[in-house]
A and B are shown apart, each in its own frame.
Chain A
Amino acid sequence: EPEVTQTPSHQVTQMGQEVILRCVPISNHLYFYWYRQILGQKVEFLVSFYNNEISEKSEIFDDQFSVERPDGSNFTLKIRSTKLEDSAMYFCASSRLAGVETQYFGPGTRLLVL
C-alpha cells in the first residue's frame, strides 16, 4: 500500500541554523500539507499546498517557514533560522483531492533545536 515517507526521522540542530525537512507524498496525490506536534500537545496545521502554491497557512507559518515542491516527487519544509520553540514532530500529509478526502500522514520528523 502506498504511503507517505519523510526524511530524516530525527534531526538535531543548533538555534539559528536552517533545516529542511523532506517528504515524499503518495504518487497520485495532488494536495500536500505540513503539520507539527510539540511534545505533549495537539497536532497543529501549518500549511497546505496545491498546484505549486500555498492554498492556506496558519498563523504559525510565518516568514521563517517556506515550502517547496522542487521536483515531481518531493515536498519540503524549510525553517530558515530555527528557534528553541521549533522543537517538535513535523508531519507531512497528502491527499488525492481536497475537501472530504482522507489525508494520509507520514511517520514524522522529530526536530530538536538546541
Chain B
Amino acid sequence: KNQVEQSPQSLIILEGKNCTLQCNYTVSPFSNLRWYKQDTGRGPVSLTIMTFSENTKSNGRYTATLDADTKQSSLHITASQLSDSASYICVVSVGDYKLSFGAGTTVTVRA
C-alpha cells in the first residue's frame, strides 16, 4: 500500500529560527517527490519537485533533500517568517499522474 508518513505532526518555532520536517514513503512505482505548502482553506502550492536522482533542491528559504535508497525526504526552512505558518505536505508521485499526499506538518511561527 502506498503510504507517505510525515513527522512531526505539528511544531511551533520562533520567528527567525530554522526547522526541519521529515517524510518517509513507501510508494511504488516512485516517480518524484514534492513538497507543497498549504495555507488554511487554500489549495496547495508547490515548493519543490525532486526525481530519484536528485539529492537536494532549494526554493528560496526552503531546501528539500531526498534519499531514494532509504525513502526519506526532509524540508528545511531557514530563518522562518510569520508567513511560513502553514501546513507543509510531502507528496509522492505514483506514475505519471497520481499524487499520494502525506497528512502534513503544521508549522506555526510566532513572533
Contact = CB atoms under 8 A, between A and B. Distances in A.
Contacts of B102: 42
Given A100-B32, A107-B42, A45 B49 contact: no
A103 B99 contact: yes
Given A98-B97, A99-B31, 17 more contacts: A33-B99, A35-B99, A41-B103, A42-B101, A42-B102, A43-B44, A43-B89, A43-B101, A45-B101, A55-B97, A56-B96, A56-B97, A56-B98, A91-B43, A99-B32, A99-B93, A100-B93
Nearest to B101: A43
Contacts of B31: 99-100
A6 B41 CA distance: 13
Contacts, number: 60
A77 B51 CA distance: 30
Contacts of A98: 96-97
A106 interface: yes
Interface string B13-56: 00000000000000000011000000001111110010100000
Contacts of A102: 46, 49
Given A42-B103, A99-B31, A104 B97 contact: no
Interface of B: 31-32, 41-46, 49, 51, 89, 93, 95-104
Nearest to A3: B43
A102 B46 CA distance: 7
15 contacts: A31-B97, A41-B103, A42-B101, A42-B102, A43-B99, A43-B101, A45-B98, A56-B98, A99-B31, A100-B49, A100-B51, A100-B93, A102-B46, A105-B43, A105-B45
Contacts of B97: 31, 33, 48, 50, 55-56, 98
Contact of A58 (B43, B89, B98): B98
A110 to B, nearest CB: 8
B82 to A, nearest CB: 21
B99 to A, nearest CB: 6
